[in-house]
Chain A
Amino acid sequence: MQKLTPYLFIAAAVGLLLLLTYLPAANMLWYSLTDWDGLDLDKEFIGLENYLEVFTNPQIFGVFGVSLYYFVGSFAQMAIALYFAALLSYRTRFSNLFRGILFFPYLINGVAIGFVFLYLFQPGGTLDTVLGAIGFADTPQWLGDPAVANYSLAATSVWRYTGLNFVLFLGAIQSIPDELYEAAEIDGANRWQQFWALTFPGIRRIIGLSFILAIAGSLSVFEIPFIMTGGANGTSTFVIQTLQTAFVFRQVGLASAMAVVLLAIVLIVTFVQRRVFPDEKVDLT
């Protein structure tokens, strides 16, 4: 009985983990080798055909190109976050208010953000009004023009997620002891020198982590384009494509192969992260 105790405590968590994470993952591997439509009772084994399709059909793999917009966007996001974190790390009036406002978008419901920006980007809407007021009358269709839509969506994503990066960076900067800055001040280092010599090394790890999360995040972008454009006008992403393949076109086999490919890429990226930033590894025990 004594020996059983820990197992009783952990049974529910492990049971759900196996049922909702590992069983689906194993099934997904199996489905990806079949031509299953999600309904049929029997699934026909077709080997690696689905994977061949994923890598050779430009309509599927080419969608990863859209991730580049978000990837570049996430650099802008980190730069903006770092800039504001550096500003607010010094004594600032109303610093709590500024911090709160800059962080708040991260907490807002994704559908609400989608609507806020659909409204902003409307032809003749807020953005056009603002640009018109400062002399740019000839504005594009922000979401209707395939050449522009992905920029607009990536910008929305930057607006949404900058707050999290900002708060993480600010926390890291504030955990650097003040005495170091005082010593640097006495030695005559200016703000810029202080930033490069003290602040940047102190937050290098969190920047590295954010960088990896940016790669993984831009590969699996989903909510903003799905809610705002539904993937129209060349804004479809790999995840939107996967889910449509599974639940709209009912090609569960092919969709599983796509999901496995994404999983493999994320695992590789994470593995590289663990090698490059070994300190960052998760320690559960």
Chain B
Amino acid sequence: MTTADSRIRAGVAASATVKYVSLIVGVLVTLIPLTVVFIASFKTSAEFGQTGPFDAPGSWFNFDNYVTAFQKGGMVEGFINTTIVLTISLIGTILIGTMAAYAIDRFGFRGKKLVVALFLVATLIPGVTSQVATFQIINGLGLYNSKAALILLFMGTDIISIYIFIQFMQSIPVSLDEAAMLDGANRWTIYWRVILPLLKPAIATVVIVKGIAIYNEFYLPFLYLPSEGMISTSLFRFKGPFGAHWEIIAAGTILVIIPTLIVFLFLQRFIYRGFTSGAVK
């Protein structure tokens, strides 16, 4: 690789070696825990007991564990429920969030400062512990053990997306609103016909960030929807009946990870952008 007479090049090569070795170690630490679960998911119960975690399964086409996970593990119910809750919550979040952002960014009104302050302070309240009291509200509304409880909570506690919408709306020139107003459009028409379509990139960001968060949410469905399964809670319940059957738990785990992987592979660029803008609020 290096010529003896060039010390600089030797140094560069050495640092390149350190760099790629580090990266490969990082990749291995990331992928090995996932790979062994993937391997285990194709093994039969007897095979699982007799072979080590790195031994290849007898057949890579043994999908029995996946079938069991799907049929007996309630994964179908989980996927359906998660899809329903996800879709309605996202639509609600987008409408409520863009409307709020429109009011805050495009209007001056009495109490605006207070409203903004209320939103800001709310970001500080840690979500999980306040469920101690939120539970009583949901219960009082008669929504305990219903998907509506989750939808309401996902729609109502999302301040980050309002923030993302406001930030993006500031880059839409007010002259567009004014031009539409001269054409006789009322405020609602401007919101619906001018602002909302222009917010598409921000909406895409919110859909991705919020969608992944809802898909992964564990405690809210665990607390508020005990009688039905969402993705996280269906998988969590594998602990009981399949406690001794790691090959089935492994299949369930892989089933939950696959949609995330697909979304990630197709939407990488949006995901990086979304999480960097969402995290540094």
Contacts and interface: CB of A to CB of B under 8 A. Distances in A.
Interface stretch (A18-26, A63-71, A146-154): A18-26
A244 to B, nearest CB: 11
B28 to A, nearest CB: 10
Contacts of B105: 285
Nearest to A284: B116
15 contacts: A12-B96, A16-B152, A28-B130, A83-B22, A93-B20, A102-B26, A104-B264, A107-B260, A109-B257, A116-B34, A126-B54, A164-B279, A216-B126, A255-B132, A262-B129
Interface in B97-156: 97, 99-100, 102-105, 107, 109, 112, 115-116, 118-120, 122-126, 128-137, 152-153, 155-156
Instruction: Give the top 7 A-B pairs by smallest Cβ distance, nearest first.
Output: A16-B156, A13-B100, A6-B107, A9-B103, A24-B133, A28-B133, A259-B129
B142 to A, nearest CB: 14
Contacts of A103: 272
Contacts of A159: 29-30, 33
B37 A119 contact: yes
A20 B137 CA distance: 8
A120 B36 contact: yes
B27 A101 contact: yes
A25 B136 CA distance: 11
Interface in A172-206: 191, 206
Nearest to A165: B279
A168 B278 CA distance: 11
Interface of B: 15, 19-20, 22-23, 26-27, 29-34, 36-37, 40, 52-54, 95-97, 99-100, 102-105, 107, 109, 112, 115-116, 118-120, 122-126, 128-137, 152-153, 155-157, 159, 162-163, 166, 187, 191, 212, 215-216, 218-219, 223, 231-233, 235-236, 238, 246, 249-250, 252-253, 256-257, 260-261, 264, 268, 271-272, 275-276, 279-281
B218 to A, nearest CB: 5
B279 A168 contact: yes
A267 interface: yes
A110 B31 CA distance: 16
For chain A, the bracket of interface size reads: 35 or more
B232 A168 contact: no
B15 A191 contact: yes
A249 B162 CA distance: 37
Most chain A C-beta atoms within 10 Å of own C-beta, residue among B125, B155, B235: B125
B232 A111 contact: yes
Contacts of B157: 16, 20-21
A145 B96 CA distance: 48
A87 interface: yes
Given A88-B23, A115-B235, 18 more contacts: A7-B109, A10-B103, A20-B134, A20-B156, A25-B125, A28-B133, A38-B136, A80-B26, A87-B23, A93-B20, A101-B31, A109-B215, A109-B216, A115-B252, A242-B132, A246-B135, A259-B133, A285-B104
Contacts of A84: 22-23, 26
Contacts of A54: none
Contacts of A252: 132, 136
A214 interface: no
A87 B100 contact: no
A282 B100 CA distance: 17
Select the residue from A90, A115, A129 with max chain B CB neighbours within 10 A.
A115
A92 interface: yes
Instruction: Pick from A130, A243, A270 the residue with the most CB of B within 10 Å.
Output: A243
Interface string A105-149: 111111110011101101001100110000000000000000000
A223 interface: yes
A282 to B, nearest CB: 6
Contacts of A216: 126
